[in-house]
Structure 1
Amino acid sequence: MQHQPWPHVSRRALITGTLSALALTATGCTAKQPVGPSPTPSASPSATPPRVLRLASAADPLGFDPALVGDTDSFRITRQVYETLISIDTSTGGPVAGLAESWTESEDGLRYTFILREGVQFHDGEPLTAKAVVANFERWQKMNAEQRAGSVQGFDDVFHVSAKLPSLPSAKDIEADFDKSGNLTEAEKAKLQQRLDQLKSIEAAFKHNLFTGSGDKKSASYFESVKATGDREVTLTLRRRLPSLIEALTLPGMAIASPKALKGTGTKALSAVPVGTGPYRLSSFSEGVVSLELNKDYWNTARVGANPQHPERVEVVSIPSPHNRLNALLAEEVDGFDMVSVDVLRTLVRQAKVVVQRDPFSVLYLGMNHKHKWLGKPAFRHAIAHALNKGQLAEKLFISGTKQAHTILPPTLSIPDPDEVLGHDEAKAKELLSELKYDGEPIEFAYPLRVARTSLPLPERTFAYIAEDLAKVGIVIKPRPIAWSDDYLGTVRSEKFTGLHLLGFSGGYRSPDDFISSILAQKKYEFGYTSALLDAQILLARSLPQGEERTTAYQQIVNTLNQDLPLIPLVYPISALAFNPSVSYYPSSPVLNEVFVDTQVQVAAPSNG
């Protein structure tokens, strides 16, 4: 499908629903049938119009089944339709009661008991019961490898059900990996000894039975079982302590769907017709436009009643270009838009628009595949790290307050930077390249097109800036632009691609493991990188409670990544939304838990014709 510019759309088109037809004209696609009741028109011109929130996003959602997707634009919609056992406190960001009104943890940390709310119904009328929750867990367990690969911030990311215990390397393996040249510097000898000491510590931990239950002794899955131990009581049993479990259950991929919708072809059906317990129902989805209607039977009447200005209808329209999103806002064709880029920020300020920033909780990185002839050389990767002026990148292309990154963990997680930070040093980069006798062979560099992510609002310009930095030290790149909708993510994570690539990650809950495990989930393919030692470090750190030991464990992981360098953390971006005065409050969230029922919108004065 050819990309075409978004047509000019009147505010009346957004209100009456004719925007869908305009979107279809632009894309040449066939409209999808509405999946719910169409909005009822006002009885007369003097009737009070519904409160409508018109929001522009950067891309279409990839689907409405939160267990099978991982993109921000899909989760933006599924968070309105579905809910999770544990919710997020909008003030503190901590876990609070969701569909489970309470929970208890056993003394050994291996068993959790959840008491479900009474009187909650799914959109199809099915009641929320313990059996309904178990049906969701059973469905997640049965997902195939392809489905698991498409899921981000869901069951596999929480319980690591596909993981196997790593086979630890021997001391000789580590020495051989370090001393490939046969001539280690004193600094390299110190790093080698640090690795050997870490190996001894891990070997001691691995002598114990790390996981209980399950007959598969090689499995590193944390999940043992889930049972309905009462009509409203669910008991979840683990194979190993997982201190971050309650926070992890807030992830959008852990949303609970109607058991009726899960039957038969439920996996496919939920992608088109989501059925949850949330405050909104999906009314329709045509190319570029998602329509949501308030769920009149929503169980949390206190939440709805506390905000008399909540939207009764929401229209989310896809407008890929940041300048087109700005123009739509200035023309009052939308009430607000996400993914504010630095190049439109000045106009927004001049026009007295409201800009709402999110606290930084994402990271942008440059991936480097170790299978490449040159990228496989540690000194070459170090040269790239020294070539990049991350401070200037943050200042030029990101919203003020964005900081350069030294690790993939945002500062709010309080994990110290690595012992040795590879800073901007063009002279050092050129020296390393000269020693390697780099011959100027072009290196493929992939970057996404026609998209804006929380971690990457201006992908084309970010690529150009980094390419310029690399050119200054003599590294030649071969640009490979790939439309996000043409499976950019799948391309850079395939065995066929072995160059450089831009990617980022936005955290779903406040845990270092969320970032580390998610970013490195497919490291063998995305970075051409494997490390049994790192896998073991991550596994052991995951089960440690908050405290000094846990902080030290994650600092060691950060050091390992900094030494092996499969990726270069670039910046911790600040993302933002912009609004017209018709929106007086928007519940911005660093983990993107933004439920529209908490938004406050003004009602336009009724027209007299």
Structure 2
Amino acid sequence: MAPTRRSLLTGSLGVAGIALAGCSSSRESSAPSSGASASATKQAEVPFTFGNAAAAPTLDPSITSSLETSRISAQVLETLVAADPDTGKPTPGLATKWTSSKDGLTYTFTLRRNVTFHDGTKLTADVVRKNFDRWAKNTDTEQVNQTAYQTIFRSTAADGKAQQTIYRSCTALDDHTVELKISTPYPSIVKALTQPAFGIGSPQAFADHEKFGSHPVGTGPFRMESWDGHTAKLSRFPDYWGTSAHITQLTFLTVPSSQKRYYELLAQSVDAYDQVGIDDFVNLARRGYQIQQRDPYSVAFVTMNQKAGPLADVNVRRAAAHALGRSQIASTQYPNGTNVANDFVPELFKMGGEDTSSAYRQDQGLSKRLLAESGYKGEELQFYYPTNVSLAYIQQPEAVFAKIAGDLTSVGFTIKPMPIRWDDDYLSKINSANSDRAFALTGYMGAYRDPDDFISPLFRQDNPQFGFTDQQLFDHVHRAAGLPDGDERSDLYKKVNEDIAEIMPAIPIAYPVSAVALSPKVISYPLAATGVENLSLVELRKDS
């Protein structure tokens, strides 16, 4: 396996590398004993504040794909299966082991014993069953944005209507053994269950659905104290089944501006922050701050809605693709190490695939000819883009939009900018059917290391972002998901990538790297390509 960015770029721009804590690292708990004095207790407090680049819409990861929701909730809710931060391979979580039947339709998980939820509930197989029942019931409610459960178990159509699902049942065989049954082989299902969306919650807590969205209760190393929509406060769980966290008080602070996040770190208001601005790398390095870069785990792209008049013509879509200077965007609007995307699957997720770069290469002369030969007559085309946010796949949305809109205008497109605040439910607006929306700037963040994680959410069925139907493509995506790793699956994904490039529902822009800036007090930070780090493994200097 090729070295990861984690192993090659720990400590960017000449900054000294820092040790990365592994899941098996051990340390003594810093929790004070029951007889400790008030002064000793205060002395033992170890606070840590992380600066999020966007507000979490909810703290229930089962109903959103938000990275910020996943990052916070993963400290509280644990999954049956964890993922190795370097390889993405499944490792024990709340389940110590698992087996699958020969036909690939039954999975049996053995649970850890003596695990307690933050509200005192005991982890049992029946608790796990109730979580699966809850996720399945979520599909009864129509919603624009697909959940991880709906994608993995193929339970909901693009319009939010319930449809035939591959989920069959989750059964408690005994107190510590769970049996999951599906109707169609899905060899990647164990990897898929590593997503924070499948964090196991206390049934007593999620009985109140609304409250659970602001106060999840799990088995994790931290328990939720409070959340006001912008700031989440957590504390170390004293009865955690695993190694106690070094941090006693964990705070997530929402700071949408990259410049403000930079100054918050300098002012020691945050101890770490995500999505380092491209202009801040050198300044941070010169000041002696640590910067850690993640491997590309996301793709940025521009959707082209074929329900929006002129974009129904493939030549108009091709004209748009050939108009864009994607190399310039990747090199000027993203951190060093970001590559141009020639399809919708980052390298870490690929099984192989044809190079489709020719489908999207910049050639403005060709773009103008295609546009002249099409039926486009200069109609104004709405272009949606998010504001007041930094995302893993678009750190500076306004600047990226300006470059793309400029390229489109230069070949003859008439663009109507449609800026929308991220916290004004931007994703719902671009995921809903709307024949007035022509283009939209967006992307997708991976959650588990398999090509289906990118291909299925985007191209397994009708998607309002793109406004097209191609049943043959959809069938290929479903079939590839059900195949075991090997040449047949790899060849089918090559075919899928070629078909997508031919249909051209969107223009891939970049596979961005993202970075975390750390204060000098941090001596160990457990970097993960997903952006969802286990912050119980953070180590701070004793004198901090």
The question of 1:373 aligning with 2:373 is answered: no
The whole-number CA distance in structure 2 between the counterparts of 1:395 and 1:525 is 30
The whole-number CA distance in structure 1 between the counterparts of 2:448 and 2:301 is 19
Shift, 1:325, TM fit: 0.5
Change (3 A) 1:373 1:470: same
Which of 52, 56, 61 in structure 2 is aligned with 1:61?
56
Deviations 1:292-315 (A, max 9, x none): 1001110113xx3xx7xx211111
The question of 1:547 aligning with 2:486 is answered: yes
Contact 2:67 2:532 in 1 (8 A): no
**Which shows bigger deviation, 446-455 or 496-505?**
496-505
Map 1:70-219 → 2, pairs under 5 A: 70-146=65-141, 149-152=144-147, 154-162=148-156
Which residue number in structure 1 is paired with residue 186 of structure 2? Answer: 242
Contact 2:461 2:474 in 1 (8 A): no
The whole-number CA distance in structure 1 between the counterparts of 2:440 and 2:145 is 19
Shift, 1:59, TM fit: 1.9
The letter of the residue matching 1:416 is G
Which residue number in structure 1 is paired with residue 328 of structure 2? Answer: 392
Shift, 1:436, TM fit: 2.0
TM-score under structure 1 normalisation?
A: 0.79
SS of residue paired to 2:413: coil
Which residue number in structure 1 is paired with residue 466 of structure 2? Answer: 527
The whole-number CA distance in structure 1 between the counterparts of 2:343 and 2:267 is 41
Give the number of equivalent residue pairs.
503
The whole-number CA distance in structure 2 between the counterparts of 1:103 and 1:252 is 19
The whole-number CA distance in structure 2 between the counterparts of 1:425 and 1:318 is 40
Which of 511, 524, 527 in structure 2 is aligned with 1:572?
511
Contact 2:364 2:411 in 1 (8 A): yes
The letter of the residue matching 1:56 is G
Shift, 1:162, TM fit: 2.7
The letter of the residue matching 2:101 is S
Contact 2:55 2:423 in 1 (8 A): no
The whole-number CA distance in structure 2 between the counterparts of 1:524 and 1:596 is 35
Which residue number in structure 2 is paired with residue 29 of structure 1? Answer: none
Deviations 1:102-148 (A, max 9, x none): 11111111111111110001111010001000011111111245466
Contact 1:407 1:417 in 2 (8 A): no
Which residue number in structure 2 is paired with residue 331 of structure 1? Answer: 267
The whole-number CA distance in structure 2 between the counterparts of 1:151 and 1:87 is 22
Which residue number in structure 1 is paired with residue 476 of structure 2? Answer: 537
The question of 1:442 aligning with 2:380 is answered: yes
The letter of the residue matching 2:525 is Y
**Which shows bigger deviation, 535-544 or 521-530?**
521-530
Deviations 1:371-416 (A, max 9, x none): 1121111001001110011111100010001000110011122331
The letter of the residue matching 2:327 is G
The letter of the residue matching 1:447 is Y
The letter of the residue matching 2:449 is R
Contact 1:406 1:417 in 2 (8 A): no
Which of 414, 419, 424 in structure 1 is aligned with 2:362?
424
SS of residue paired to 1:421: helix
Which residue number in structure 1 is paired with residue 22 of structure 2? Answer: none
Deviations 1:209-258 (A, max 9, x none): xxxxxxxxx96522111111111111111111111011011011111111
The question of 1:558 aligning with 2:492 is answered: no
**Which shows bigger deviation, 347-356 or 417-426?**
417-426
The whole-number CA distance in structure 2 between the counterparts of 1:436 and 1:150 is 33
The whole-number CA distance in structure 1 between the counterparts of 2:371 and 2:276 is 38
Which residue number in structure 1 is paired with residue 11 of structure 2? Answer: none
* Percent pairwise identity: 36
Change (3 A) 1:471 1:76: same
The whole-number CA distance in structure 1 between the counterparts of 2:314 and 2:60 is 41
Contact 1:68 1:148 in 2 (8 A): no
The whole-number CA distance in structure 2 between the counterparts of 1:235 and 1:358 is 35
Deviations 1:394-442 (A, max 9, x none): 0001000100011001112233135553311011111111222643222
Change (3 A) 1:522 1:108: closer
The whole-number CA distance in structure 2 between the counterparts of 1:142 and 1:390 is 42
Change (3 A) 1:563 1:444: same
Contact 2:288 2:520 in 1 (8 A): no
The question of 1:358 aligning with 2:294 is answered: yes
Structure 1: give runs of 5+ residues left out of the alignment. 1-40, 165-217
The whole-number CA distance in structure 2 between the counterparts of 1:554 and 1:514 is 12
The question of 1:494 aligning with 2:488 is answered: no
SS of residue paired to 1:355: strand
Change (3 A) 1:148 1:158: farther
Which residue number in structure 2 is paired with residue 223 of structure 1? Answer: 167
Contact 2:57 2:229 in 1 (8 A): no
Which of 192, 209, 216 in structure 2 is aligned with 1:267?
209
The whole-number CA distance in structure 2 between the counterparts of 1:366 and 1:519 is 13
Map 1:399-410 → 2, pairs under 5 A: 399-410=335-346
Change (3 A) 1:46 1:300: closer
The whole-number CA distance in structure 2 between the counterparts of 1:465 and 1:67 is 35
Change (3 A) 1:534 1:475: same
Contact 1:163 1:221 in 2 (8 A): no
Which residue number in structure 2 is paired with residue 210 of structure 1? Answer: none
SS of residue paired to 1:464: helix
Change (3 A) 1:163 1:522: closer
The question of 1:296 aligning with 2:238 is answered: yes
Structure 2: give runs of 5+ residues left out of the alignment. 1-35
The letter of the residue matching 1:232 is H
Contact 1:290 1:315 in 2 (8 A): yes
Contact 1:401 1:574 in 2 (8 A): yes
The whole-number CA distance in structure 2 between the counterparts of 1:561 and 1:91 is 29
SS of residue paired to 1:229: strand
Aligned-residue RMSD, C-alpha? 2.0
SS of residue paired to 1:557: helix
Contact 2:324 2:362 in 1 (8 A): yes
Deviations 1:549-602 (A, max 9, x none): 001111111111111111111100001111111111211111223011011122
Map 1:302-341 → 2, pairs under 5 A: 304=244, 310-341=246-277
Contact 1:493 1:522 in 2 (8 A): no
The whole-number CA distance in structure 2 between the counterparts of 1:337 and 1:42 is 34
SS of residue paired to 2:292: strand
TM-score under structure 2 normalisation?
A: 0.89
The whole-number CA distance in structure 2 between the counterparts of 1:73 and 1:522 is 27
The whole-number CA distance in structure 1 between the counterparts of 2:118 and 2:375 is 64
The whole-number CA distance in structure 2 between the counterparts of 1:323 and 1:219 is 45
Which residue number in structure 1 is paired with residue 413 of structure 2? Answer: 475
SS of residue paired to 1:143: helix
